[in-house]
Chains A and B, each alone.
Chain A
Amino acid sequence: MTQSELASQLRALCGEDAVIANEDELLVYECDAYTMQKNLPTAVVLPRTTEEVVAIVKFCAEHNLPIIPRGAGTSLSGTVLAVDGGVMIALTRMNRVLEIDARNRRALVESGCVNAWITREAVPHGLFFAPDPSSQSACTIGGNIATNAGGPHTLKNGVTTNHVLGYEIILPDGSIEWFGTEPNGGEDVAGLDLRGAAIGSEGMFGVVTRVLVRLTPKPSTFKTFLGVFDSVDDASQTVSDIISAGIVPAALEMMDQLITAAVEEAYQFGFPLDAGAVLIVELDGLADGVETQGHQVESICQVNGAREVRVAADDTERAAIWKCRKRAFGAVGRLSPNYVTQDGVVPRSRVPEIMRFIQATSKESGLRIPNVFHAGDGNIHPLILFDERKPDEVKRALAAGDAILTKCVELGGSVSGEHGIGAEKIDFMARQFAKADLNAMQLLRKAFDPEKRCNPHKMFPGAKRCAEFAPKKQAAA
């Protein structure tokens, strides 16, 4: 089938305006926020209903075409890269909040619904949707399910899988299933937890179309601290000591000097420019407990040599802190034309060690590596800065990333805390898992997609790569 035949067949299923198949327009879909590999899908189709998704998926099954489900394309690991072409199903037109069930603290939404829109609709009921990836003003709930997305506040509240009750999914053969709790149904579902098994499967088990999420009552009290430290080492030790003291803050985030300076230049919050590291510690809950834990956090900061511990004066200041934190990646463009980021994880007590290793790696590679990350989870985000016009820097950047992830595994951690494996970290799977472990995952995949047609060439060693494997112009995302 030629590209234009494919386009006209898809148009017959979903309408004239629902299909993109010319090269200029397809460029938008050549990659996600991981820009080291790019390839055009054969066609992009933008369905408006579950029925249209079913029709597309059945058509692709009949013609043995790869399908690539896509949300907002904010993946940082190439999870929605069309490695070998194929039909990309973009869910961005299926973006409605269908129902807020305040009594049962649930919302039913379409899978292309933007993460932040759920909270926007829930807030009038005193509720919110807890997972808050930094891209939450753009990323979709379907994408959150595919990657089991996290965010700063998942330290206490949990990640996507802890807040998704159930969903409708179109399997690669076109059959419609509902996994987990059905709308108006009970939480406990007999049989295997297919809901949980398919969350984080990076779009390889099917196309999610509707989602039932759990909403959480908004805490009555927040207390947000900025701890200012002379060194990353002192800040890292503070993180470790807070967790050791049995305190689970709502969020516990670190920004080092480089990133703090870039954020300050971009958003003018009033961060100190000369501090080695800034910790954002947020406590939430009931007034008395927050007050007591607040004193503990302050004294742990001071014991570790904090130069200053500031408390956000009100909701406006608290919101400003989080705006800066969540837009930190966006400020990196001020530091460097290009960057690659990693999201390895280490046991929380090893944060000081991995931070020292990153500093050493920076020195060794001659590349600057600012850090802004979920310290309380041990989930690092070193941003390795380079200039794509200098091939040697590109090579050193990739090597530095490799060394840092290898160290994470060595310290008993993982190569990904929230971004996923995608096309990017395939080579690491065999370092973190034994053959039997990977085989078991492949068995599960086979139950959903025996032909490996759904989001192919991802996650598993031996997958095909794009011919073009070099960084193109990368606007700091």
Chain B
Amino acid sequence: MILKPDNVSGLQDLLRAATAPIDGVDISSLATLKTHVPEDMTATVEAGVTLADFQAAIGKRDQWLPVDPPAPERITIGELLSENLSGPRRMGFGLIRDWLIGLRYVSAEGEFVFNGGNVVKNVAGFDLCKLMVGNRGALGVIVEATFKLAPQPEREQFFERSCSTIIDVAELIERLWNSGLQFSVLDLAQSAGSNPRIIVGFSGAAADVESQSGQLREITGFTQADLSHDTWRTKQSNHPLSVAPGDLVDCIQNHNPEQYVARAGNGVLYHPGAAPERKPSAVEQRIKELFDPRGILRAL
């Protein structure tokens, strides 16, 4: 059964009344931008708002939430958080957990829980925000989030270069890594039947982006690009392979996927093969049993 509450208290009632595991929660009724305080660079938004709508609203004041998973018009804030989604700019801006400062969720037992706050620095109490990011709906239903925001970059530029072999890729990545350039994007990508490509980007003050783009052009072969290499991931597994960044090319060679996207700065490889099964640790199982004693939410 998919729960479809009208509001938070409805969700509380539905969860309390549930007697069997649920198949999910449709939170499309919770879709309001509660507050945006540009002077504080913070915003509070209900979890049913799509990432694209949220970005459009805060973008009116030249601010943004600097995470960029593909298809933001189809991703709700709730999914962004519970699935811990990210995109190519992860190299420059980090993950959603780095921007989340407050959270409201409904527990499996129907409790309405608040954690964190509205301020950008806060250590009062345990950090349940971190626990809930990436919980995949196993520990509670996120209904509202407060983020610290960033000023929109004055300029962004992206470049790509095709390499004939993965060995060439490895050499060029090391060169870029040690170049002193400050990439917001440092990706590898390959589509079926074509050569591997390196995609890089700069985000920030116009003058910095210009001067860095100039330095990059001194390394031959880079041409203007966009970030469309990442879009195929929408239908694929969100659960990548992850290795130390210096081991990424080895990892690609070992798995040898026909099609992939990889974050060279973070050591993350997405490819269509399913992520391996993983058994939750004893601590994770204890947390699950305590947070969802009746086992009505999704399994870990």
Contacts and interface: CB of A to CB of B under 8 A. Distances in A.
Interface of A: 101, 103-106, 147-148, 150, 154, 158-159, 161-162, 171, 175, 177, 184-197, 199-201, 217, 220, 240, 243-244, 246-248, 285-289, 291-293, 345-349, 374, 377-379, 412-421, 425, 428-429, 432-434, 436-441, 443-448, 459
B22 interface: no
B125 A193 contact: no
Given A186-B242, A436-B111, A417 B122 contact: yes
Contacts of B210: 288
Contacts of A459: 125
Interface string B171-182: 000000100101
B205 A444 contact: no
B42 interface: yes
Contact of B39 (A243, A291, A414): A243
Given A246-B62, A289-B207, A414-B119, A192 B111 contact: no
Contacts of B266: 187-188
B8 to A, nearest CB: 12
A441 B125 CA distance: 7
B242 A192 contact: no
B244 A348 contact: no
B290 A286 contact: no
B122 A104 contact: no
A434 B127 contact: no
Nearest to A293: B205
5 contacts: A186-B241, A187-B268, A193-B84, A347-B118, A379-B121
A288 B211 contact: yes
B182 A286 contact: yes
B288 to A, nearest CB: 8
Interface stretch (B13-21, B23-31, B222-230, B274-282): B274-282
Nearest to A448: B283
Contacts of B37: 347, 349
A416 B120 CA distance: 11
Contacts, number: 237
A285 B208 contact: yes
B167 interface: no
The residue among A103, A220, A448, A459 with the most chain B CB atoms within 10 A of its own CB is A103
B39 A240 contact: yes
B125 A429 contact: yes
Interface stretch (B72-80, B129-137, B157-165): B129-137
* Contact-size category for B: 35 or more
Contacts of B177: 103
A348 B39 contact: yes
B122 A416 contact: yes
Closest 5 CB pairs of A and B: A186-B242, A196-B130, A289-B205, A246-B151, A288-B207
B92 to A, nearest CB: 12
The residue among B119, B128, B150 with the most chain A CB atoms within 10 A of its own CB is B119
Contacts of A247: 151
B111 A416 contact: no
A65 to B, nearest CB: 22
Given A243-B39, A348-B40, A440 B128 contact: yes
Contacts of B117: 345, 412-414, 432
A364 B190 CA distance: 68
Contact of A191 (B98, B247, B280): B280
Contact of A447 (B120, B247, B287): B287
A134 B175 CA distance: 36
B212 interface: yes
Given A186-B241, A246-B63, A347-B118, A437 B113 contact: yes
B245 A346 contact: no
